[in-house]
Structure 1
């Protein structure tokens, strides 16, 4: 398989997994928000649910990592996602309170940022070729 085709397949799979992660994230965030949970706590919990799904599916399906995890693979994955969570929480606050963008729309905007950060970090740092 050509390298370009392999990269395209990785990215397509990453986007599919990301779509599922996003759906999980949005559903949990919406449910917790509806229940009156403070939005930053709802963001952390919902993002964490998506992260767990992301690790499992991206490791086994997208990047097809075989055998045992690398010594620091999971820690790097968690570090990347904590960094992304900090960035998205900051942006969520900025968009919602500074620019008065409703929470659902703010969530969409931060999700776009999250996808870019996570693909680059996952591909080139966590699941190094």
Structure 2
């Protein structure tokens, strides 16, 4: 029975689903730090009197630079595309979710009257999964068909 369990664990760890889950977890870890950087900058600027939308833009730019570095180095290391092309795709991916989060932030703050410190946190439940999918299947997509994560 012990050999069967070892074989099952070995096959499970080599499966594409397992690798996809591990990659998503790595993306999540990078995302936590990225989000901390973005929101620390956002909150500091808001509390310093900067308009919340401008603070959102500045935090976003800092977050994208951080996310690109760590996703390229740690999460999507199988990518073979050039750094400039990949950075443009990453920036575009984050740009899509940034625009979505900005619209949602505006609606939640202006029309629903949600606090400016709570609204961005709720928006993460939409933007994080969307961002992972955009980065995985477009920005960092390997040119090789046999990618180990697909």
Matched, 1:117 2:130: yes
Q: Give the SS at the match of 1:94.
A: helix
Larger Rg: 2
Q: Larger RCO: Structure 1 or Structure 2 (Cα < 8 Å, ≥ 6 residues apart)?
A: 2
> Where does residue 83 of structure 1 map in the other structure?
96
| CA offsets 1:42-91 (integer angstroms, 9 cap, x no match) | 00001111111111101110111466626622111111111211111110
Please give the alpha-carbon distance, in whole angstroms, between the structure 2 residues aligned to 1:71 and 1:47.
Answer: 19
Q: Is the contact made by 1:60 and 1:66 (CA closer than 8 Å) also made in structure 2?
A: no
Q: How does 1:62-101 map to 2 (within 5 A)?
A: 62-65=75-78, 69=82, 72-101=85-114
Q: Which runs of 5+ in 1 are unaligned?
A: none
Q: Give the SS at the match of 1:36.
A: coil
Give 1 or 2: higher helix fraction: 1
Please give the alpha-carbon distance, in whole angstroms, between the structure 2 residues aligned to 1:34 and 1:11.
Answer: 33
The 4+ residue runs of structure 1 with deviation greater than 3 A are 65-68
Cα RMSD for the two superposed structures = 1.6
Question: Number of aligned pairs?
Answer: 129
TM-score by length of 1: 0.92
Please give the alpha-carbon distance, in whole angstroms, between the structure 1 residues aligned to 2:45 and 2:109.
Answer: 17
